[in-house]
Structure 1
Amino acid sequence: MSDEALISSLTVAVAASPTDVPLRVHLAGLLLTAGRSAEAIGHAAVALQHDPTHPEAQLLMRRAIAPPAVPAEADAPPAGIEDRFDGLAAELADVFPPRFAAEPAAGPVGHVQPVAGDADRMFDVERVALSLADVGGMVEVKQRLELAFLAPMRNPQLRAMYGKSLRGGLLMYGPPGCGKTHLARAVAGELGAGFISLTIVDVLDMWIGSSEKSLHEVFQQARRNAPCVLFLDEIDALGGKRSKINSHGMRTVVNQLLAELDGADSDNDGVFVLAATNAPWDVDAALRRPGRLDRTLLVLPPDGPARSAILEYHLRGRPIANIDLARLVAATEHFSGADLAHVCDTAAEYAMHDSITSGEVRMIEQRDFERALGEVRSSITPWLDTARNVALFANPDGAYDELAKYLKSRKML
């Protein structure tokens, strides 16, 4: 049996018996020999979670994460080789093309050479292999998405019977780093639709009319590839309040966005618009009227199950031992997803530094996370301070009642 066939058979066996440490260690050794170090590290780490003192697993882990040997410096080319190439190129110029393309000829003064891609800009349509099942926790957010967005799309006959329109989009808001982009990608995967992500950088141009043209083109690209989820990230920058915008060019960009979402000539059938912002109070009110971004979803910091899933995701493939996951989840309440990733990176840095200074490679342990938690703090506090003022003084129509409820649960109102 070949090594690849044996690895495949052992992989199936390990999946059937995940707690069989000797079997998993044997598979890790074969993977390391085959040059598949990342997979070997993952299996060795799982084996050490079940048996932290297993000598062969520890040895495999040290071998897998050891730095590769530096290859010997290649010999320098013999002197004069470029001269010989130049001579041969001159002799064979009638037969072979030149080694390098010639510089473009300079045009008249003031003439600008055209750049490829300046004409009709094309925006990539991504196919996402992700679903809401891959998003840990966030049960209430998923239920809101299902009720307001996903269920009507999946059931066109019932939608027609109840007269439910698909016009309009969904605006997600909340603290930074809490997974709004991840949720948008999961919605696209859930629907089996294409995914286009758009920010102000993708459309903004110094030339008059170019920004509006780019914005129209991205909507056209979404329409051509329907069903498609068009994700407008940082919508407060792309569609900010026109009363506060001093630039005429930016005001016309907002006008173009309004026309694309709900204009007389816009046909967005099969185009599902999702937008995200940290500051919904800075979004132009016209964008939140019926037929545009008329549904709102508050995305809060991850709850306990979500934090557990995020921590496990950022620790997979890393050499860990005896990590108290429940304790980490309890200690990271009100941490954003980005904060949790930072905690994992910081703990890994402490373990790596100890390995470098002591000369002995060791696992990432609970003590490293305790040190990391002493350094990393939740990054959403400034956002909460702003949100508190909005909930107290700028909520006459009840648009931020859900936000106020969350702030009261934190005793901030």
Structure 2
Amino acid sequence: MEASSSGRSAGRFQPGPALPPASNILPGTGGKPAVVASDEESVGKITYYTNNHLGKGADGIVFRGYFHCDDANKRPAAVKRIELAKQSNADREVALLLQLDDNPHVVRYFCTEKDGQFLYIAIELCAVSLDKCFTKENPFDLRGLNPVMLLQQTMMGLEHLHSHNIVHRDVKPHNILLKDHSDSVTVKISDFGMSKQLADSRQSYSMRSGALGTMGWNAPEVLDESRKVNPTSAVDIFSAGCVFYYVLTGGKHPFGEPYRQTANIMDGKYNLNGLQKDKHEDIVATDLIEQMLNMEPQGRPSAESVLKHPFFWSLEKQLMFFQDVSDRIVNEKLDGPIIQQLESGGQEVVRNNWIKHITAVLRKDLEIRKGAYEEGSVKSLLRAIRNKKHHYHDSPKEVQETLGSIPDDFVSYFTSRFPHLLLHTFLAVRSFAEELTLQHYYLM
């Protein structure tokens, strides 16, 4: 459902500012009572405008309108008009919205009304759908909501669905909405017309329901009629993987142009060239998106696991991870399993000699302890990061200036020079995730 969605803050489960009292005074009228528009229609507590289309949902047309909370107050709403013949679908959608109403990243349901021809579902109104954010003509101001935060909120909404055994089945930019709070923006998942709630103890749903999602955004198992295994919530993860690439590249699709997307999805032919192969952030993003686009549903991460991926780690958490791994391996033997995994493929990580790739000021500072650091070792590079963090305030002023402030500049100093370091280390020590020191970084 496009461009629809209540005032809640961007934080998890935190209430937003109260909605202002409604008024019948239109903006810019100098305080005069509003004139009823010629296209205005009212049904019970819902008013909508037939000439003001917001888009088309899975089961009906969406109009701009209002939800009348009481005689004196009304809230802007997106009003979905559905034919009575599809009432069972509408009832299911409302039931799902009511279940999901306690999450700030799912559109909020207001009410349902009915006349002789249609059902009307009113939900909170949002400013724009994600697919409208990358138009050059009228770009949307995200109010500081960067791509990582946007995708994190999207996954928080999706995780909430999956925790209720609800599969959305139509995740795409059109159904990811942005709620404008004037000083911030919140992501909302919308349009549950194709959604399916799995029965207790079931992990999959039957394809007999006929819901295929949207071509170009649906998972290969939905398209392949020869598959004997029923789809699961992993279909949403695949679609979200496409959305991740779309957001990070400013509107590109991992499976190419629209006329080729379905065939490429069936063949597993994606292209992530819009992400740079030598940039730390893009390397981490590529790893996550490739997991999400796995042709085999069981190979994709859960929504919860996606949210634990280093792609979403703050710079502070990245630094804590480098420090904790270094502390964990400080006394390990060189032929021990964790060191073997860490140093396997390490030459690419340290770029053969990491000491050559740091600034002269830091190199000179580290040379005070001759023999303490090995130039071709990942373990040694992590040790240098750990030591400089611990002794940052004791370091000469020029060293502090070259490393910058902790944690942001400090972490970026190293990851910009060694862009594979975080992902490599994360994957290398994953076998030891059950250890107390590392549990915080992995989904257990």
TM over 0.5: no
Q: What's the TM-score once normalised by structure 2's chain length?
A: 0.20
Indicate the structure with greater strand content.
2
Q: What's the TM-score once normalised by structure 1's chain length?
A: 0.21
Q: Which has the higher contact order (CA 8 A, sep 6+)?
A: 1
